[in-house]
Chains A and B, each alone.
Chain A
């Protein structure tokens, strides 16, 4: 019985997400507009320093001028649209639940793990750095089966090292394991 009452309500909610009462300004969008404005302006400034070659009526400047100007104009328009209440539609997906607030701590942890990989990959070699990357990322995402993750990471990293070096002839660094692998 209750389903029949709910159906029209659900349909109406689907028609207009967020009625007139819920319109809020997405302040972060101003930040995006500002960053893109700076990038666009910098592109124009950078292009202005280029020299136009001899016997080249166009030169390397026109294209960046147009792109930079386009970026500046569109970011200003975005700022205007933001002020008028335009809100982004965050991308949904199979594992994405956009109704929950963003969990930036997990993202920061993942960024940290990748930075660690960048810093250590030459020294440790891919086989170890990759294993740490996998285990670290799984931990950051909430896995607590550390031993299993490290083992899986080692298998993946050592396997991919051999696959690339032997199978594809791409010499990934062995690092500290040089001579052992």
Chain B
């Protein structure tokens, strides 16, 4: 209950007219950038980071909150109205959402996505407010060896569990850790991997790395493979939900939230698996109630645009976006690309990631959480009426769109230090990002490696200094041992899990296609 009081205080800080304006600007900018095809939430936040440079931390946080949920919502609009999802988390939304749009029910798809995001985001944020402080209280007691183990767990799991190829995940992780080494060694002040370049001595600016890898890398990769014919945009009207749609949506929203939140909070959980699980569940439930004859025959619309198939995964997506705030705020551990970009932004305010985040900067954390609630509400209020306008953004000509991304990426890099050298660095990381997309190297392990690498080294050296260099201290704490055991267990069971998942996934996609085809030929 004490937490609710603190959240209330945070709301007080967030609810001044000026701050509401920042929240609204954040939501609008976030949605605007998120809707643009080819821009996911992480890239949207990375691109918009420079906008917050001149702001006070509190206002910047409020804007982040808006950007964050705005960017997420914008991404789902894109996947519903375009055939091709921009990121793995929207694959499931796109599956039914796009069918709904083509069947003339795009407005309902957008509405159930928006309301579902609002419901999941609000429940998720409240859960964060309940869990994160308790976890943070425990977290400050965690010793260096256990904290080190936790980071190893987060990094190894993101590298090996997500994505198709564990080897490529590990490669990407090591490249990220190498990038994190560049600059002065924190203890002895000796330069590492700086090649004598003065700008590299005070470490790489994480904003430049993130914008380079996410924004410029993506733009260059798209440039190399630009679709000749842009994907077909389905026209859409004013989003609204009829009573029947609402009746069919609310349970999937809640179930999706229940799937999304815990996965979001786990390392390597992300939004991909919960959206998938939510989709499968809704599909099974719809099938069962259709065969039992409880509902009308069109209750099982899966494969033809079922509203449950949009409501569930969208809620799961947003709930996991809220869930990832738990490890980020309580432990200072980012577990998704978006979280790592947000955390890197905090570093710009001299806030170090780690378990002390919640205790040392409590007021800021509560303001952020309150702003997330406000941003979420604003998102619903602003975006439902604006949806047709956002849909029009999807028709923006691609040369100008990607030229704009290049423009804002360079502006962001340049504005960090007003030094053209940073644009050069941006270019280097952009080329790296493009190469990673070409070679199927996942981006997330790299960016987590860049951010967590230095922190990991600090904890490692802290632990080893205490023990006088004896590595046995790394597994001297019970928590550390437990974490390594979990890691081992996951690594052993991973092949089984991924085989089950890919089999179910390909079956569902194939089935959905078959149904759509039979449906088409029946007409």
Contact = CB atoms under 8 A, between A and B. Distances in A.
A89 B165 CA distance: 9
Interface string B201-233: 000000000000000001111111111101100
Contact of A71 (B167, B171, B404): B171
Given A63-B181, A117-B410, A170-B53, A110 B223 contact: yes
Interface in A104-146: 104, 106-107, 110-111, 113-115, 117-119, 121-122, 126, 130, 133-143
Contacts of B219: 110
Interface string B44-74: 0000001101110000000000000000000
Interface residue tally of chain B, by bracket? 35 or more
A115 B427 contact: yes
Nearest to A29: B439
B469 A97 contact: no
A75 B170 CA distance: 10
B424 interface: yes
A156 B434 contact: no
Interface in A69-106: 70-71, 74-75, 77-78, 81, 86, 88-98, 100, 102-104, 106
Given A7-B517, A71-B174, A74-B174, A47 B192 contact: yes
Contact of A81 (B167, B465, B510, B513): B167
B362 interface: no
A176 interface: no
A143 B174 contact: no
B98 to A, nearest CB: 12
A39 interface: yes
A88 B439 contact: yes
Interface stretch (B251-259, B344-352, B373-381, B392-400): B392-400
B407 A95 contact: no
A18 interface: no
A100 B242 CA distance: 43
A143 B86 contact: no
B223 A107 contact: yes
Contact of B223 (A51, A71, A103): A103
Contacts of B517: 3-4, 6-7
B187 A172 contact: no
A72 B513 CA distance: 44
A71 B235 CA distance: 48
Interface in B431-472: 431, 434-435, 437-441, 453, 456-457, 460-461, 464-465, 468-469
A63 B460 contact: yes
Interface string B474-515: 000000000000000000000000000000001001100110
B134 interface: no
B281 interface: no
A121 B177 CA distance: 31
A122 B421 CA distance: 11
B411 interface: yes
Given A63-B457, A107-B434, A7 B174 contact: no
Interface of B: 37-38, 50-51, 53-55, 78, 82, 84-86, 164-165, 167-168, 170-171, 174-175, 177-178, 181, 185, 187-188, 190, 192-193, 218-228, 230-231, 397-400, 402-404, 406-407, 410-411, 414-415, 418, 420, 423-424, 426-427, 430-431, 434-435, 437-441, 453, 456-457, 460-461, 464-465, 468-469, 506, 509-510, 513-514, 517-518, 520-521
Given A134-B406, A164-B50, 11 more contacts: A3-B517, A40-B178, A43-B193, A58-B469, A71-B175, A93-B38, A96-B221, A97-B227, A97-B228, A114-B410, A117-B423
28 contacts: A4-B521, A10-B513, A11-B513, A28-B438, A29-B439, A36-B171, A36-B174, A43-B181, A50-B185, A50-B188, A50-B190, A57-B468, A57-B469, A59-B188, A63-B457, A70-B174, A74-B167, A90-B225, A93-B84, A96-B221, A97-B227, A115-B427, A121-B420, A130-B411, A133-B403, A137-B399, A141-B403, A164-B415
Interface of A: 1, 3-4, 6-7, 10-11, 14-15, 28-29, 32, 36, 39-40, 42-43, 46-47, 50-51, 53, 56-60, 62-64, 67-68, 70-71, 74-75, 77-78, 81, 86, 88-98, 100, 102-104, 106-107, 110-111, 113-115, 117-119, 121-122, 126, 130, 133-143, 149, 152-153, 156-157, 160, 164, 167-173
